[in-house]
Structure 1
Amino acid sequence: MKNAIFYLTCLLLSNYIAAQEFQLSGTVTDQKSQPIPNVTILIKGTSTGTQTNEDGKFSFYLEKETYTLVFSYQGTDRKEVVVDLIKDNELDIQLEEILEKLDEVLVKSVRVEADSPITHSNVSKEEIATRNLGQDIPILLNYLPGVVSTTDAGTGVGYTYIRVRGSDASRVNVTLNGIPFNDAESQGTFWVNLPDFASSVENLQLQRGVGTSTNGSGAFGASLNLLTDAVSETASGEISNSFGSFGTRRHNVKFSTGILNDHIEIAGRLSAIASDGYVDRASSDLKSYFLQGSYIDDTTLIKAVAFGGHEITYQSWFGIDQTTLENDRTFNPAGQYTDADGNTRFYDNEVDNYKQDHYQLHWNQKYTNNWSTNLGLNYTYGRGFFEQFKEDEDFADYDFTPIVIGGETINTTDLIRRRWLDNDFYVINATANYKDNNLDVDFGAFYSFYDGDHFGEVIWAQNAGGSEIRDNYYFGNGKKDEFTIFGKTTYRINDQWSAFLDLQGRFVGYETTGDTSDRVPLEVDEKYDFFNPKLGATFHVNKTNHLYASYARANREPRRSDFENGINTAERLNDIELGWRFTNKKAVINANLYYMWYKDQLVLTGALDDVGAPIRATSGESYRLGIEIDADIALWDRFIIKPNLAISSNKNKDFVTSKDGSLVNLGDTNISYSPNIVLGNMLIYQPIKNLQLGFLSKFVGEQYMGNIDSKASKLDSFFTNDLNIVYEIKNIPVFKSIVLTGLVNNVFDLEYVSNGFFFTFDDDFTNPGTIITREGAGFYPQAGINFLLGATLKF
């Protein structure tokens, strides 16, 4: 493999030398020398063009000639520049005036600017596209600083998860066009419900730590804000297909009418993804859609957006023990049972089957050069179940009546059950913005209401015990309402100093009735009032060096499963961030130091409940202390390196646990699922025009799956490497271009585990009267070397 890559690189390099092409690159900035993303650069008289990235940079590879470049923003010409290209050339372009794109207003209230005192990373549509072959968003974001991604099925398709700074996905606040995506009760983010959503993302921002004020559950590890496809000025169409290991395949079609009659655009996408999974029977059958209609003029943007998905995935969250991991890595115990002849079999429909639809309406209005408003409405409808075959279940657990036959009482049965979720989520979000040369003010209000039913039914039983069809053997309901008001201000004191203030009031009510899935009554009626202040400052040392500091507080209510475990105390987090940003023509470097200290943090115990959801416990006092560094460096023409490093110490203070029948203070222990080192790197080489080679590496240090520093709970470190190839064929008949993409994951075929679970239990059977605490663990193995190949036809 290494020799093949070397010879391929040499061949492509020789082609480049023969072609005599030169690099035309540059940076676009505003009057304050701040980089401007999403500026369109067209070569006059041709259809060739590009856009600046989040750092304001752009690049072409062109043959020797004289070119006129047209720089524009939101369709308005700003500047023409003539370039006589006889060698590699780098430009510095300053636009005198820049208008904010109306599309960007959708997420303005939950995002921060490039020079804000909030630690963040931006990812553009173009960056996502290079590896977007059907894997979920957590996998596509795996190479960002402090991020660890994992997947149940071992392939990045199906159930996938993301952790940031050791915080799990339920503590990463996700918004789609400013609307919360986290489930209101579980606080989790289930990307499997929106398969191929990355194909409809214009850009995203990941804020690490508390971040800025956002809508929905408070961020305790990060905030992830996604903006869906922007309005396209020109008509376009795409057909994409990809195929790969383990029967993985993705098919989608996209279209845009462009702007019709100067005001209207209609765009959409249909996708289908399927995979057999690396783990046995861990199959995925995923379908999704995205449709938007837009009205736009100089001061108004109205968007109606509908998107959703239907997922059917065979369950693969049971994991395997250490012995099975060593002898049969792909074994999946889900659905296992013993038939009447004593043979081990697997139920063929042990699946999750869930549908989720989102309907959004956004109205952005610009009144003057200073004032604008945004109104967002949302309705989300989710419904579905997971199905299980269960052996020897007690009648009493399902309200079955015992059966007496010939004097013998039957009170157990094999059965198939479904546990249902049926929920509605309503949101209204209103914001206003005032902006001039020195002041940028956002303020607004947010209200949401969630109504969710939880119920179970038995769809087949060997002995039904007098039950009726569609009887519910348990039923519960949860209602949650939230009202948030916020105001945040960035004030540019002078050319060097700017200050940031963000004040948020968040008021949450949660009420439950009925029973849990274990048929235990759950009666909750709690209200929480939170005040979350954030403040910071940025110091512009010079054009290339910026320093920042910030403090933020966040409070967070428990989730439904916490209440089931008797926890009703809210968590509190204080977060201090100190950072340095360096930008010049060849490099962008970000470094930050953070200290996050918690009161009553709900840490993962490592154990799972009977539906595979992580169980949490209050840790009292705890903290996360770390340093993060990431860079984007042009080592030489056509060769870029993007390393990042996160080193941290994550500790519970004076952690108390039950051991051998007594409470024991273990002192300071490691917080679960929090590796002390996470390292990523991307080597990107563009040997010829339209060809990009990427070599991507990720190292995750060892971590504990529990909070008691048990050896049995330790996950070993792992170091994986991926190879990414993208080649675009342009100027061909019928098509605008054809993009060919290849991705080889885990190129060195490493056997590794990225996630697992850990549990303890008290054993007094061996020696009655003496309690001994025993430990156990499960693991989720990930796939060895595997590949995905794709082709996108653009019209």
Structure 2
Amino acid sequence: MKRFLTTGAALLALSGPAWAQGPVSGSVTDARTGTALPGATVLLDGAAIAATADGTFILPAVGPGSHELRITFVGYEPIVRRFQGQAAAQQIFFALQPAGVLTGEALVTATRANERTATAYTNLSKEDLAKRNFGQDIPYLLDQTPSVVVNSDAGAGVGYTDIRIRGTSNTGINMTINGVPLNDAESHGSFLVNLPDLASSVNSLQVQRGVGTSQNGGAAFGASINISTLDNRREAYGETQNTYGSFNTWKNNVQFGTGLVGKYFTFDGRLSRIVSDGYVKRGASDLKSYYFSAGYQQKNTLLKFITFSGREKTYQAWNGVPEPAITGDRTLLQQYIDNGELSEADAERAMQEGRRYSYYTYDNQTDNYQQNHYQLHLAQGLGDDWNLGAALHLTRGFGYYESYRARRRFTDYGLQNVIIGGDTLTRTNLVDQKWLDNYFYGGTFALNYQPKANDKLQATVGGAWNRFTNDHYGEVIWAQYASNSNIRQRYYFNDARKTDYNGYARATWQVLPKLGVYGDVQVRHIEYTIDGVEDDQNDVTTRARYTFFNPKAGATFTLREGQQLYASFAVGQREPVRSDFTDRPAGDQSAKAERLNDLEGGYRLSLPNSTLLGPGTALRVEANYFYMNYRNQLVATGQLNDVGTALRTNVARSYRTGVELSGFASANDKISLSSTLTLSRNRILGFREVIYDADYTPIVASEARSTTISYSPSVVSAHTLEGQPLKGLRLALLYKTVSRQYLDNSTSEDRRLKPYQVLDFRLRYSIYPSFMKEVELGLLVNNVLNRRYEANGYTYGYPDATGRQQTFNWYFPQATRNFLASVGVKF
């Protein structure tokens, strides 16, 4: 900082009379991803000043007359701008194009959207994530992006968390890390609890809403989240972040990097630990992770090995809290007791613990899982206009959840009844473990055509081949009466194998100076087999094959500089999830693949130096319309299998349609306001609910009707007001609103989540002592207004003796007012 001020003073002295000198500020970003380029070199009339850590720069005083501003950054083409010095403040923004020297981002741009692909997306840089990162999971760091709703099993954002985008759960959100699929191949979900503190190693992240561009792995059936950890820091560094907060929450990590070693090599690493007792009683989490990368880089070659791993132990909070524990309704509580949902003792404890109630009391009722990732990436320049990105990957996952089971039949576990004296015992208390043991491996590639001389046409050909194997089995590790069991008695086993490969081709063509077109086609093939029995001793043998053709097309039209219209149409298709096969009778493969036709259109306005708001201001506005038309969407209708497990059934027609509005305005980096608002309508057409009479005979609704899709709020908004009253001190208010959601597809007012509004407060204060790069103090106060709300839940029901339906709702209450305080140090 002292060097920066000294250089600024020298420029000031040379530029002319002091009364005519004005500041010049700006930012440096990647032209294709919009991410900041920290450390870029800024030269004013030949004198160098390094950009700050977040990719911005400021020249405190620039004299009158003509000046040249030159920006350089390794791996990018330099850019030069001339401007006139003036007394008023000026802002100049630079978007650099990648050059012949390849960077890590070259490996993920093939699957990312940009202003040419006519889709709705949000880019978040490392700095964007860092200011939100106090140790909560990635979904909570995305809470302020459009159409996002998040929740936490334990109530405070640590442990099992979930994200929905446009009402689509994480099973319909494609997630990739450096272009490598993260979604579980069978459930289609992404369990970020297995990768705690991943956000600390993320270099950039893009959220695409809708089908978006072609991705590797599972279908983007509502959104995709593309994560890049491919940072390229050429100077040595050391950092540590430490957080403490409510519910005995701790986060500690250390990060390091060697910078360039021997001109060609870089090494980076991170160790992290996050623990929390959770808002919910016995909702504890103990999470550990590491990240390490080793890179080799020459002008046209980048080779990078990355490994990262997470190990989690979380107390099971996934049962939620019964409704009467939240409302205090003892009449309703008795209904839970009478139907066996709660014992007398559990019911009394539920009323005592209230909304922080936890169903389980066994001291090791925990989920234990470890996931190790290994990736080898190659980016190779092929002449001036071509480059190749390729990766090999292996993910190793293994773990179990342990449960205490009361009064279980011996025969359910393959055991004989026990005879004691003249009594025959048919049941026992026991503890079992349900295991997963899997491997996921394969390769991805993308060949990119990106001409330097004429960028009217850009094209990519890419694809992936992936293989997943998974053993599912259960073991009895303790029983009150052992019967004829052995140590670790295995009572079920099935193995699954899934092969998934795809190829795609994408191109953008600037037909006219203002008109661009976009095309993208993908062919994806899946083969899925299961052999063996499930825990209910049901034969789950499965043989399924699918081939999908997913075309996409769009167009953009530039109204004037900074203003763009766009429209696109895309098709997405996906196969049923594992439970759609295993929860049905043996051999029943009636669940069909789902199809989504996605129409998007919108308007973008981007004014880096807004004449509307005045000098030194920035303005961005986007309005996006979407119509997502589903065919054969799999939804819960109330139908059960022979053991009472809910089945998903294909419905012929359903849709989501709405408008997403977002805006951002800032003034001289002193104050900014960002807002998003989603208004949507989410419907199933021709829905027929299935209920059961007193004899458990299914009754299908005779009249079809239009109903609201479950977990799909019609209004979602997020607003962030941030200011910098003092240098280095940033204060922010974050406000989130979510309208009513239904727990199932019946649109019943008895089965819903109430609307909620949440206000958070964030403080970040940075100081720059002479003996280190930076010390940052942070404070996050969640739910400042101390609202009591539930962000997730589930429902089911039974008929009573008279055939009257009884409903049982379970909710996941979120934490009341709580805090996280942090100290970060950079060397």
Q: Which letter does structure 1 place at the counterpart of 2:52?
A: T
Q: Which letter does structure 2 place at the counterpart of 1:206?
A: V
Provide the residue aligned with 2:734 in structure 1: 696
Preserved CA contact (<8 Å) 1:72 1:79: no
Q: Which letter does structure 2 place at the counterpart of 1:596?
A: M
Provide the residue aligned with 2:538 in structure 1: 520
The whole-number CA distance in structure 1 between the counterparts of 2:645 and 2:366 is: 15
Provide the residue aligned with 1:89 in structure 2: 90
Provide the residue aligned with 1:474 in structure 2: 492
The whole-number CA distance in structure 2 between the counterparts of 1:282 and 1:155 is: 10
* Change in CA separation of 1:345 and 1:617 when aligned onto 2, cut-off 3 Å: closer
* Change in CA separation of 1:558 and 1:663 when aligned onto 2, cut-off 3 Å: same
Provide the residue aligned with 2:17 in structure 1: none
Per-residue deviation, 1:200: 0.4
Task: Find the residue that maps to 2:672 and give its secondary structure.
Answer: strand
Provide the residue aligned with 2:597 in structure 1: 574
Provide Cα deviations, 1:470-492, integer angstroms capped at 9, x if missing partner.
22100011110011011011111
Provide the residue aligned with 1:38 in structure 2: 37
Which is worse superposed, 404-413 or 627-636? 627-636
Provide the residue aligned with 1:362 in structure 2: 377
Which is worse superposed, 39-48 or 664-673? 39-48
* Change in CA separation of 1:601 and 1:94 when aligned onto 2, cut-off 3 Å: closer
Preserved CA contact (<8 Å) 2:102 2:381: no
Per-residue deviation, 1:684: 1.2
Provide Cα deviations, 1:98-151, integer angstroms capped at 9, x if missing partner.
568521122122111234201111111101001211100011101100000000
Q: Which letter does structure 2 place at the counterpart of 1:322?
A: E
Provide the residue aligned with 2:556 in structure 1: 538
Q: Which runs of 5+ in 1 are unaligned?
A: 1-20
The whole-number CA distance in structure 1 between the counterparts of 2:35 and 2:362 is: 55
The one of 628, 634, 640 equivalent to 1:596 is: 628
Task: Find the residue that maps to 1:464 and give its secondary structure.
Answer: coil
Q: Please tell me whether residue 674 in structure 1 is matched to residue 719 in structure 2.
A: no
The one of 473, 478, 502 equivalent to 1:484 is: 502
Provide the residue aligned with 1:158 in structure 2: 159
Provide Cα deviations, 1:653-694, integer angstroms capped at 9, x if missing partner.
010112354211341000000000001111111122222111
Provide the residue aligned with 2:682 in structure 1: 650
- Give the alignment of 1:597-612 within 5 angstroms: 597-603=629-635
Task: Find the residue that maps to 2:686 and give its secondary structure.
Answer: coil
The one of 753, 757, 761 equivalent to 2:790 is: 753
The whole-number CA distance in structure 2 between the counterparts of 1:464 and 1:296 is: 61
Provide Cα deviations, 1:717-758, integer angstroms capped at 9, x if missing partner.
10101111111111421x111111111111111111111001
The whole-number CA distance in structure 2 between the counterparts of 1:137 and 1:97 is: 28
The whole-number CA distance in structure 1 between the counterparts of 2:48 and 2:329 is: 57
The whole-number CA distance in structure 2 between the counterparts of 1:186 and 1:292 is: 29
The whole-number CA distance in structure 1 between the counterparts of 2:97 and 2:105 is: 20
Provide the residue aligned with 2:780 in structure 1: 743
Provide the residue aligned with 2:304 in structure 1: 303
The whole-number CA distance in structure 1 between the counterparts of 2:401 and 2:459 is: 46
- Give the alignment of 1:270-669 within 5 angstroms: 270-327=271-328, 346-436=361-451, 437-566=455-584, 567-584=590-607, 585=609, 586-603=618-635, 616-634=648-666, 638-659=670-691, 660=693, 661-664=698-701, 665-669=703-707
Per-residue deviation, 1:438: 1.2
The whole-number CA distance in structure 2 between the counterparts of 1:202 and 1:782 is: 29
* Change in CA separation of 1:36 and 1:517 when aligned onto 2, cut-off 3 Å: closer
Task: Find the residue that maps to 1:246 and give its secondary structure.
Answer: coil
Per-residue deviation, 1:287: 0.1
The whole-number CA distance in structure 1 between the counterparts of 2:406 and 2:35 is: 62
* Change in CA separation of 1:35 and 1:715 when aligned onto 2, cut-off 3 Å: closer
Q: Which letter does structure 2 place at the counterpart of 1:758?
A: T
Provide Cα deviations, 1:529-548, integer angstroms capped at 9, x if missing partner.
10000000111111021001
The one of 39, 48, 51 equivalent to 1:49 is: 51
Preserved CA contact (<8 Å) 1:22 1:87: yes
The whole-number CA distance in structure 1 between the counterparts of 2:504 and 2:645 is: 32
Q: Which letter does structure 2 place at the counterpart of 1:556?
A: R
The whole-number CA distance in structure 2 between the counterparts of 1:611 and 1:421 is: 23
The whole-number CA distance in structure 2 between the counterparts of 1:33 and 1:253 is: 31
The whole-number CA distance in structure 2 between the counterparts of 1:34 and 1:782 is: 34
Preserved CA contact (<8 Å) 1:387 1:416: yes
Q: Which letter does structure 1 place at the counterpart of 2:519?
A: L
Q: Which letter does structure 2 place at the counterpart of 1:793?
A: V
Q: Which runs of 5+ in 2 are unaligned?
A: 1-20, 350-358, 585-589, 610-617
The whole-number CA distance in structure 2 between the counterparts of 1:48 and 1:561 is: 54
Which is worse superposed, 458-467 or 108-117? 108-117
Q: Please tell me whether residue 724 in structure 1 is matched to residue 762 in structure 2.
A: yes
Task: Find the residue that maps to 2:317 and give its secondary structure.
Answer: coil
The whole-number CA distance in structure 2 between the counterparts of 1:411 and 1:360 is: 51
The whole-number CA distance in structure 2 between the counterparts of 1:85 and 1:779 is: 60
Q: Which letter does structure 2 place at the counterpart of 1:372?
A: N
With structure 1 as the length reference, what TM-score do the two structures score? Answer: 0.90
* Change in CA separation of 1:345 and 1:297 when aligned onto 2, cut-off 3 Å: closer
Provide Cα deviations, 1:347-382, integer angstroms capped at 9, x if missing partner.
111000000000000011001121111111110000
RMSD in angstroms over aligned alpha carbons? 3.1
Provide Cα deviations, 1:256-278, integer angstroms capped at 9, x if missing partner.
00011111000010000000000
The whole-number CA distance in structure 2 between the counterparts of 1:444 and 1:739 is: 42
The whole-number CA distance in structure 1 between the counterparts of 2:542 and 2:113 is: 36
Per-residue deviation, 1:29: 8.6
Provide Cα deviations, 1:255-313, integer angstroms capped at 9, x if missing partner.
00001111100001000000000000100000000000000111111010000100000
The whole-number CA distance in structure 1 between the counterparts of 2:322 and 2:96 is: 60
* Change in CA separation of 1:411 and 1:61 when aligned onto 2, cut-off 3 Å: farther
Q: Which letter does structure 2 place at the counterpart of 1:641?
A: L
The aligned length equals 759
Preserved CA contact (<8 Å) 1:23 1:61: yes
Preserved CA contact (<8 Å) 2:125 2:203: yes
Per-residue deviation, 1:517: 2.0
Which is worse superposed, 409-418 or 39-48? 39-48
The whole-number CA distance in structure 1 between the counterparts of 2:361 and 2:308 is: 34
Per-residue deviation, 1:321: 2.0
- Give the alignment of 1:152-191 within 5 angstroms: 152-191=153-192
* Change in CA separation of 1:82 and 1:538 when aligned onto 2, cut-off 3 Å: closer
Preserved CA contact (<8 Å) 1:28 1:35: no
Provide Cα deviations, 1:614-668, integer angstroms capped at 9, x if missing partner.
9643232100011001111125651111000000000000101123542113410
The whole-number CA distance in structure 2 between the counterparts of 1:269 and 1:589 is: 37
Provide Cα deviations, 1:4-56, integer angstroms capped at 9, x if missing partner.
xxxxxxxxxxxxxxxxx9864336699x9997853754466787523777xxx
Provide the residue aligned with 1:13 in structure 2: none
Provide Cα deviations, 1:444-463, integer angstroms capped at 9, x if missing partner.
22111000000000111000
Which is worse superposed, 178-187 or 689-698? 689-698
Preserved CA contact (<8 Å) 1:152 1:159: yes
Q: Please tell me whether residue 107 in structure 1 is matched to residue 145 in structure 2.
A: no
Question: Percentage identity across aligned positions?
Answer: 38
Which is worse superposed, 753-762 or 197-206? 753-762
The whole-number CA distance in structure 1 between the counterparts of 2:94 and 2:495 is: 58
Provide the residue aligned with 2:15 in structure 1: none
Provide the residue aligned with 1:219 in structure 2: 220
* Change in CA separation of 1:92 and 1:486 when aligned onto 2, cut-off 3 Å: closer
Provide the residue aligned with 1:790 in structure 2: 822
Per-residue deviation, 1:63: 7.5
Preserved CA contact (<8 Å) 1:319 1:779: yes
Provide Cα deviations, 1:218-258, integer angstroms capped at 9, x if missing partner.
11110110000412110001011110000001000000000
The whole-number CA distance in structure 2 between the counterparts of 1:684 and 1:629 is: 19
